Amino acid sequence: MDNAALAVIWYLIFVISTTCHEAAHGLAAKLMGDKTAYHHGLVTLDPVPHIKRSPFGMVIVPFLSFALNGWMLGWASAPYDPFWAQQNRKKSALMSLAGPAANLSLVIIAALVIRIAILLGVFQAPSEILFGKVTKAASEGFANSAAIVISILFTLNLILFTFNLIPLPPLDGSNILLFFLKDKTARRYEDLLHNQAYMIIGLIIAWQIFGPVFSVIHLAAINILYPGAGYH
């Protein structure tokens, strides 16, 4: 499959995965008392409102990251009421974690599909592991295309799950500490999280450390997917 076709598949799965991520943020906030994202029409699996809200993060950055790295990364956002977040810090932290949880759910779904397809003789463990080759078709044709799609679904959602859990602003993982901080310390920490300079620095650091960290996590996930395979 050529790079243009791969880029289209990566992008379609990126859009679906990011939409699920942001819709999960909005739904969690709505269920816990903040309907801001809901009123903006973002508690939805329709990707169009999410793309309109974050065109740079959902269109330009994914293709740029694919050109540079061979895999996609980008972002979108779901609005929330900052006053609600300050008054409900633990709920706000849970809302932040709902997005990565949605991506982890998609990783698990992809893994289950792979294991079931192996039992049915449709897929098999590949001889080598690549980001877009987590599993291999047992025959040519549709099964080969399906193996590529499910491999990208697995890897891309593992990327989004892992990257967003890095505990640096403005990533979702930066809110985990709100579960443990007392009010006065939490207020100071929130000021840091919303500082534009720290957000830019956090993204730069996260981008720099992510590649090596994710390679280890991806390999570990593959060895869980194929127990005893001993990929390295």
Average pLDDT over residues 118-123: 97
Global pTM reads 0.93
- Percent of the chain clearing pLDDT 70 (strictly above): 100
Q: Quick check: is 44 in a domain?
A: yes
Q: Which residue type is seen at 74?
A: G
pLDDT at residue number 126: 94
Contact 171, 202 (CB under 8 A): yes
Q: What is the DSSP letter of 135?
A: S
* Number of folded domains that form the chain: 1
* Positions of E strands within the chain: 123-124, 136-137
Residue 33, pLDDT above cutoff 80: yes
Domain enclosing residue 162, as ranges: 3-225
Q: Quick check: is 232 in a domain?
A: no
Residue with tokens 């499910």: 150
Q: Quick check: is 230 in a domain?
A: no
Q: Quick check: is 198 in a domain?
A: yes
